[in-house]
Every structure is written in structure tokens, then in C-alpha cells.
Structure 1
Amino acid sequence: MDNSLNTTFRAAMRRMAATVTVISTTAENGARHGMTATAVTSVSADPPAVLACVNRSAALHAQLGLGRRLCINLLHCSQQRLSEVFAGALEGEIRFTEGDWLSNAEGVPYLADAQANIFCEVEALHAYGTHSVCISRVTHAVCRPDVAPLVYQDGTYMCTGPLTP
């Protein structure tokens, strides 16, 4: 991509607001892995599926594989610090000292007080550019009643709220 297109593309993408998530999983050796992600969206309602784009340079990327179980934790607007920790402020297993982490029956770590937890199993991985597109079948989901997601737009964290008429 030429430099001017790259600059314009990045500027355009900064105008897209996205819910902040932490993708979490457990490696074969039992080590927990996680990373902050905003490139996450639904793919299908039948069957329920989501996709997440993961940079191949991210430590979590090495843990992705067909059949891998993971959780997409949608963050609450009070969880900016947790997003920063999983975006690189801390490394490795120490990240999981931030927040209220539990593990489900399959050993997948999940954030107990997230806006929502989407548990899934990787069904497809597609390499594209610097990233892999990971498509996962949803196996279980949990939603909290308080709807106040952490959102990232134009390099800034924010919360959303309903528009007043």
C-alpha cells in the first residue's frame, strides 16, 4: 500500500468505534494467554459464530489452532486499566493478576465481571497481511445486566450511552 493510502486508511479506521475485548485461552501446558482486541464481530447467528483478527506477532497468535477453546470478554467501561494491561502494559501470565479471572470447566480463563463472555471454539484460521482472521463457533455466552461497554475510537477510550431525543 502506498504511503498516502496507508495514512488515509489508518485515519479512516480511527473513526470506527469498537467495543474493547480481551481474548483469553489456555495453552497445552496450562499457561494462560490473553490480548486486548477491538477487531471482533459476529459472523453468523445460525450457527452462532464470531471472528477476531489477531496480529501474527501477538503472543496469543501462537496459541490459536483449530479446536482451540477461547473466550472473548467484552469489557465494561470501568475496565480501561485491564485493557491496557492486556494491550502490553504487562506481559505473560502476570496479566491475569489484573481483574477477576476464573476458569470454566474446559480450563478457559474468563473475566467474571466483563460485560459479556463469549466462549467459543476455533473452526477456521485465514492468514491475511499481518493478521490471521480467526472464526470461532460460539459454545456458550454470558451477559451481565449492566450495559456499559468500554469503547475505543480515535486512540481514546470512552463509554457509550443512549442519545436523548
Structure 2
Amino acid sequence: MTPELNSAFKAAMRRLAATVTVLSTTAENGSRHGMTATAVTSVSADPPAVLACVNRSAALHAQLGLGRRLCINLLHCSQQRLSEVFAGGMEGDIRFNEGDWLNNAEGVPYLADAQANIFCEIEALHAYGTHSVCIGRVTSAVCRADVAPLVYQDGTYMCTGPLVE
């Protein structure tokens, strides 16, 4: 990739607004792992599936594997601090001191007051460039009543709202 293409690509991607999420899972030894991610989207409605792109240098990446369980916590616009903590503001399990974290029946940590929680089982991992594309079959989902997701665009956090006619 040329420096010009690299720069143009990064500038273009900064214009792609994305809901901020925290991916969370539990390792075989019981330790909790999580990271902030915006490269998350739906794949299929039947069967319900999602994908998340995870940098291979992220600590969470080592916990990903076929059959492993993962929660995609879509953050509410009031949870910017939590996003920053899981984006590297703190390291390790201490991150889970920020926010109201619980564990589901399978032991997967989830943010109780997230905009939504999407629980999935990893069915595919595909390495590409610096990242792995993780595809998860959705096993359950929970949504908060109000719709006010935290969004990241052009290096800035923001909230969404309906257009005024």
C-alpha cells in the first residue's frame, strides 16, 4: 500500500460512523477479557450472526477460538468513560471495575446497563491483514428500552438523534 492510499483510506474510514461496543469473554482460567471495538456488524438474520474485527495484537485476541462464547455490548451514549477504559485506559481484569458487569449462565461477562447485549458462540475466525474477522452465531440478545447508542466518528464520541423535519 502506498502512503497516499494509506492516508486516503484512513481519512475515508474516519467518516464512517460506528456504534461503540465492548467485546467481552472469559478465558478458560476464569479471567475476564474485554476491549472496545467499532468494527462490528450483523452478518445474517437467518441464522442470526454477527462479526467483529479484532486486532491480533489485542490481548482479547488470544481468547478467541471456535466454540468460545463472546458478548458484544453496544454502549449507551452515557458510557464514553467505559469505552475509554476498555480502549486501553486500563489493563487487564481491573477494567471490569468500570460499569455494572454481571455474568450470564455460561460465565460470559456482560454490561448490565448496555444499550444492548448480543451473546454469541464463535463459529468462524478468518485472519486478514492485522486483524481477525470473528463470526459469531447469536444465542441471545437483550435490548435497553431507550435507543441512544454511543457513536464514534472522525475521532470523536457522539450520540445520535432523530432528524428534525
In structure 1, what residue type is equivalent to 2:154? D
2: CA distance, partners of 1:70 / 1:105:
13
Q: For structure 1, which runs of at least 5 residues remain unmatched after alignment?
A: none
Tell me the TM-score normalized by structure 1. 1.00
* Offset, 1:143: 0.3
Q: Aligned pair 1:163/2:163, yes or no?
A: yes
Structure 2 partner of 1:4:
4
Tell me the TM-score normalized by structure 2. 1.00
* Offset, 1:76: 0.3
3-state DSSP of counterpart to 1:77:
coil
In structure 1, what residue type is equivalent to 2:136? S
2: CA distance, partners of 1:67 / 1:2:
38
Structure 2 partner of 1:98:
98
Count of residues in Structure 1 that have an aligned counterpart in Structure 2: 165
Q: Aligned pair 1:138/2:138, yes or no?
A: yes
Structure 2 partner of 1:117:
117
Q: CA RMSD in A?
A: 0.2
1: CA distance, partners of 2:155 / 2:68:
31
Moved over 6 A (4+): none
Q: Aligned pair 1:57/2:57, yes or no?
A: yes
Q: What is the percentage of aligned positions where both structures have the same residue? A: 88
Structure 1 partner of 2:83:
83
Q: For structure 2, which runs of at least 5 residues remain unmatched after alignment?
A: none
Deviations 1:95-118 (A, max 9, x none): 000000000000000000000000
In structure 1, what residue type is equivalent to 2:53? C
Structure 2 partner of 1:32:
32
3-state DSSP of counterpart to 2:77:
coil
3-state DSSP of counterpart to 2:25:
strand
Q: Aligned pair 1:108/2:108, yes or no?
A: yes
